[in-house]
Amino acid sequence: MANSSFIQSFSGARLNVVNRGNDALPVLFQHGLGGDAQQVARVFPQEERFDLTTIECAGHGASSCPQPPAFSLEAFYQDIEAYSAERFPHGFVAGGISMGATLALALAIRNPALIRALILVRPAWFLNKSPANLEPIRVIGELLQRYPRKKAFDTFVASDLAAQIGQSSPDNYSTLMDYLGAHQPEWIGKLLTDIAGDGLEFSSAQLEAIEVPTLVIGVEADDIHPLALTKQFHHLIPGSRFERAPRKDDAQAKPNYPERTAALIAGFLAEMESRT
């Protein structure tokens, strides 16, 4: 059963921390942009033998928004670094989806002594800020800041970008439409623009210096998280394992994306557990 508690962010926001497990192999696994702990739970093994922690970044899930609203990957990173250093002094596995993968990678590069293993699921950032593959998210963020929500929705649906991404990556299209939904918080436009235009800059040499076991998972038909980018991480991180999960919109896949991703993570963590 998952337990939640709140910690104070350096930005002044209250961050929701979700823990599940039995104090076995500690894993800090972070969600993607606009995601939350439930997004992680859908692709993480259900076995209680892995001690899972997810920190919902400022403006995500049940965490509050900094006032005035301002977001950066560095601020998100500082929060999870401070928490993990106190909570896991003897080391932990770092992982994440999309934005969360970038934060996990930063932990592995900046705090190598604490990281036992690394898991990158559908990474979206590579070495530089504001990557081209995140342009659709930046467009949505700008529309939401420029127009009332309904007009932003109508403008995007009528655009060439919507037609193109709906054809090439149906799952990405669904995500972009979800960002435009009435259920989203009022700060979603600023959040998307700030983070999709940001980044934690790394070098190829830093990736090549990673020495911990690393699992990299990618999918096809994902313009925002290109499979080619996943393979670049695999080629640069020594000894890393590359795995391909079914495309997210393939409802007929057996196992499907969440099931296959969870199975891959479970197998990888079981190896880490046996080494420990």
Single residue among 146, 163, 192 that ends a domain in this structure: 192
The answer on 188 and 142 residing in a single domain is yes
The last residue of one of the domains, among 153, 171, 192, is 192
Residues 121 and 209 in one domain: yes
The tokens 């969440």 sit on which residue? 258
State whether 46 and 183 are in the same domain: no
CATH of the domain at 28: 3.40.50.1820
Same structural domain, 75 and 86: yes
Is 178 found in the same domain as 223? Answer: no
Query: What string of pLDDT tens digits covers the 276 residues of the chain?
Result: 789 999 999 999 999 999 998 778 999 999 999 999 999 999 999 987 899 999 999 999 999 999 999 999 999 999 999 999 999 999 999 999 999 999 999 999 999 999 999 999 999 999 999 999 999 999 999 999 999 999 999 999 999 999 999 999 999 999 999 999 999 999 999 999 999 999 999 999 999 999 999 999 999 999 999 999 999 999 999 999 999 999 999 989 999 999 999 999 999 999 988 776
**Model confidence over 191-230: pLDDT tens digits?**
999 999 999 999 999 999 999 999 999 999 999 999 999 9
Verify that 27 and 95 share a domain, yes or no: yes
If asked whether residues 39 and 142 sit together in one domain, one would say: no
Looking at the structure, tell me whether residues 13 and 84 fall in a common domain.
yes
Q: What is the pLDDT of residue 224?
A: 98
Angle between helices 188-196 and 135-146 (to 10 degrees): 150
Among residues 165, 192, 219, which one ends one of the domains? 192
CA–CA dist 52, 93 (Å, integer):
10
Are 187 and 210 part of one and the same domain? no
Tokens of 188: 């979603």
Per-residue pLDDT, 22: 75
Say which residues have a Cβ less than 8 Å from residue 204's Cβ, sequence separation at least 6: 127, 236
The DSSP annotation for the chain comes to --EEEEEE-TTSPEEEEEEES-SSEEEEEE--TT--HHHHHHHS---TTEEEEEE--TTSTTSPPPSS----HHHHHHHHHHHHHHH-TT-EEEEEETHHHHHHHHHHHH-TTTEEEEEEES----SSSS-GGGHHHHHHHHHHHHS-HHHHHHHHHTSHHHHHHHHH-HHHHHHHHHHTSTTS-TTHHHHHHHHHT------HHHHHT--S-EEEEE-SS-SSS-HHHHHHHHHHSTT-EEEEPPPTT-TT-SS-HHHHHHHHHHHHHHHHHHH-
The whole-angstrom separation of Cα 97 and Cα 253 is: 20
pLDDT at 21: 84
Number of domains the chain is built from: 2
Task: Tell whether 104 and 222 lie within a shared domain.
Answer: yes
Q: How deeply is 23 buried, as exposed, middle or buried, from its count of CB atoms within 10 A (0-12, 13-18, 19+)?
A: exposed
* Amino acid 276: pLDDT: 63
Q: Is there a single domain that holds both residue 159 and residue 176?
A: yes
Give me the domain span that covers residue 183.
Answer: 132-192
What tokens were used for 270? 């079981």
Whether this prediction's pTM lies above 0.95 is answered by yes
Do both 110 and 242 map to the same domain? yes
